Amino acid sequence: DRFSHYRVFGQRIATDVDPAGFFNRGEFQDTGISRIRFHNIKTETAVDTAWCKDRAEYEAIVRAGKAISLEYEFPTLRPSGYLLSPGTFLTVKDTLLGADASLIVVSTVWQVNESSERLTITLQPSAAFVQEPPRKLSKKYSLGPWKYL
């Protein structure tokens, strides 16, 4: 599912010097969605505001990438001269769908029987597989021995 607004909420580590405010928040808007739909994400560990914004943007990018999926069927197992497997990048130029991009093979289905062979591949953009932003805490905060949990 795609949403128009992504909000990430997370607690922050409070100190005696800075007791005001108990949470950090980050937002990102997906301009490709016209209907207003909110998606709220609550983190499990302490985070800073920059990470909340990065996570909201990450969610929007990955969900937009996973929303696009193309499926092609070929009458042979080797349409380009070699056997296709998941993780392979293919350049697709499809004038009917208006696709002109480099896509990743997500799944392959090989069907072989006595009279024919058939290959079905599913493609998605690489944005569907972007790595999640790493969690970082500000240097002024320390989790002590609990940082590895």
Full-model pTM:
0.74
- Residue 148 exposure: Cα atoms within 13 Å on the Cβ side: 1
Beta strand 70-74 pairing with 117-125: antiparallel
| Contact (CB, 8 A) for 66 and 90 | no
Show Cβ contacts of residue 18 under 8 Å, excluding neighbours closer than 6 positions: none
- Residue-level pLDDT at 137: 56
> Please, what's the largest Cα pairwise distance for the chain?
77
- Residue-level pLDDT at 98: 84
- Residue-level pLDDT at 20: 56
- Residue-level pLDDT at 149: 47
Average pLDDT by stretches of 10, the chain with 149 residues:
93 66 86 93 87 93 91 84 86 87 92 90 91 70 54
| Residue 109 CA: distances (Å) to CA of 18, 28, 115 | 57, 37, 17
